[in-house]
Structure 1
Amino acid sequence: MKIAIVGMGNMGSTFANGFINSRFINPTDVLIYTRSKKVLEDNRNIHKLSYRYELDSGIATCDIVILAVKPQDFSTLADDLKKFIHQDQIIVSVMAGVSIDRLKKDLLVTKIVRSMPNLPTQIGKGMTVFTASEELDRKELFIIQNLINTTGKSVYVLEEHKIDAATAISGSGPAYVFYFMEAMIQAAISYGFEPSQAELLVKQTISGALGLYEANSLSTQDWIAKVSSKGGTTEQAIKYFNEEDILQKLVEGVNRAKAQSELLGKQTK
């Protein structure tokens, strides 16, 4: 199986490294198409991949073509790309907001996968939600999911609109976690801890809490109850969060992220 990756930014690099480090794909079977300066690619080309700086007929020899460019660059890319791709190939898009219908229309192909990965894919702990056009069969979907899973875990959805929801949850989600961590770090510093101590306190707390959650089948509410004792410190914090309706405000923030994702999708049509 041969794969072409168009675009070598964060996501393009992540997929290339994930495929090869997992030994799912041989380096010789990966073609990289990028507009970056050649010297920059040479400096980070640890796998000795084949870099090309203009689209060419090599794309036609690939089974899967991954589009990892910015959505605003798609219109220009499509005009050149459709000269080299064909109906037997699977096109995998990681471009936010670009619909399957538009990909079909602009590229003149039918086998389309639309995905939404997140930043932790860079360390193999990503979460990717993906959907596909009906032209892909079960075997092809299985291959795509195995490829994506080299960068973490994935969820397949039938409904394309859930990609916008995934953008708001898992795509933007790491920033929400960091936002909450920042609040804890600032509180610790205000209590007299050194910044490095505050960061360690919070980092290990978040890591430990996630470890507990993953190691057991208890819900988040169950764990809140376990940590909170009647009349204790945790109870006071949670009581305040509830009084200030923090949970609902966070949900509303996620809703705004989803609305923005939907808006961006409309603007790229």
Structure 2
Amino acid sequence: MLYLENTTEFNSISMKKITVIGGGNMGFTYAESIFNSNLETQIHVLEKSIERIQEISALNTISIGSDFSVLKEADVIFLAVKPQISPTVFEEINHFLNKDQLVVSIMAGTTIETIQKGLGLEKVVRAMPNLPAQVKLGMTTYVGSEEVSTEELELVASILETTGKAVLVKTEDDIDKSTGVSGSGPGFVFYMMNAMVNAAENLGFSPEQSKILVSQTFGGAVKLYQDNDISLTEWMNRVSSKGGTTIAGLNHLADTNVGPEIQKCIEVAVARAFELGGKKL
């Protein structure tokens, strides 16, 4: 089976063979991002769906197939399958694995211990990406088992950062907490954007105009916050003037308790993440 390679040296990390199990949206996002990065890698995708194999093969870039024996040569195994089918996947692949391999999982709610027991491997990193990874603006948190070395964590960081930013957290609980903030966060942002688009359309702007007004407003505000060491409270002060339009709107948000309710929204999402992992917050 042919592997297509990127061969540019990256931070002195030697050539690594990476196999992504799962050719769905997130699995392919990582495979494509790794392939197009400066990482010195051989990337292969394992996928069962014939239609998906044909779809990705037609791109004539990333190697894809359904032969699990390629796992024998992998340095890094990237698990990008639905959590509910993980026991079946573990059973299918564990006899192709060896103790030196590093596993990176983006399966929501599936603990490091569960993966270790299911695969019989010790070196496991659990990661939580979000949807903007598809446009290389993702936010991923990750944590490794005790057996994962500092060098291996650096390798994982370089892989995850092909899709945006990556932050190493201290515990798996922090992974579940970040799920409510950055993992589910895009959904909450889309909710607020949708409300603003609807308001714009109600004011008479066309759908196309409303999309531009709202998306550029969000993008510009985020850029200002990212590029300056200024608190969000100060930014709100800077955009407001006494008796003006912005302060009128902000006062309404405060009066209707929107801020605390957004915080509650995140707390509910975090609690659900813990519940899916069989834990309580």
Determine whether 1:51 maps to 2:72: no
The DSSP-based 3-state class of the residue aligned with 1:2 is: strand
**Hey, what's the Cα distance between the residues in 2 that align with 1:47 and 1:246?**
49
Note the C-alpha offset of 1:215: 2.0
Which residue does the alignment assign to 1:266? 278
Which residue does the alignment assign to 1:147? 159
User: Match for 1:127 among 139, 142, 146?
Assistant: 139
**Hey, what's the Cα distance between the residues in 2 that align with 1:248 and 1:104?**
39
The DSSP-based 3-state class of the residue aligned with 2:277 is: helix
Which residue does the alignment assign to 1:84? 96
User: Match for 1:8 among 10, 16, 23?
Assistant: 23
The answer to whether the 8 Å contact 2:56/2:62 transfers is no
Determine whether 1:220 maps to 2:232: yes
Deviations 1:33-65 (A, max 9, x none): 10111x543333335333221422x20111000
The answer to whether the 8 Å contact 1:19/1:25 transfers is no
The DSSP-based 3-state class of the residue aligned with 1:115 is: strand
The answer to whether the 8 Å contact 2:56/2:64 transfers is no
**Hey, what's the Cα distance between the residues in 2 that align with 1:128 and 1:209?**
22
**Hey, what's the Cα distance between the residues in 1 that align with 2:110 and 2:163?**
22
The answer to whether the 8 Å contact 1:123/1:151 transfers is yes
Determine whether 1:117 maps to 2:132: no
The answer to whether the 8 Å contact 1:127/1:153 transfers is yes
**Hey, what's the Cα distance between the residues in 2 that align with 1:40 and 1:11?**
13
The 5 Å alignment of 1:1-269 reads: 1-26=16-41, 29-37=42-50, 39-45=51-57, 46-56=59-69, 58-266=70-278
**Hey, what's the Cα distance between the residues in 2 that align with 1:51 and 1:245?**
50
**Hey, what's the Cα distance between the residues in 1 that align with 2:168 and 2:90?**
26
5+ residue gaps, structure 1, are none
The DSSP-based 3-state class of the residue aligned with 2:170 is: coil
**Hey, what's the Cα distance between the residues in 2 that align with 1:166 and 1:95?**
14
The DSSP-based 3-state class of the residue aligned with 2:172 is: coil
**Hey, what's the Cα distance between the residues in 2 that align with 1:49 and 1:90?**
21
5+ residue gaps, structure 2, are 1-15
Deviations 1:153-174 (A, max 9, x none): 1000121101111111111111
Note the C-alpha offset of 1:234: 0.7
**Hey, what's the Cα distance between the residues in 2 that align with 1:202 and 1:172?**
20
Paired letter, 2:38:
R
Paired letter, 2:31:
A
Once superposed, which parts of structure 1, at least 4 consecutive aligned residues long, lie more than 4 Å away? none
Pair 47,170 (structure 1): closer, same or farther in 2 beyond 3 Å: farther
**Hey, what's the Cα distance between the residues in 2 that align with 1:49 and 1:154?**
23
- Equivalenced residue count is 263
* More displaced 10-residue stretch of structure 1: 192-201 or 108-117: 192-201
Overall identity of the aligned pairs, in %? 38
The DSSP-based 3-state class of the residue aligned with 1:122 is: helix
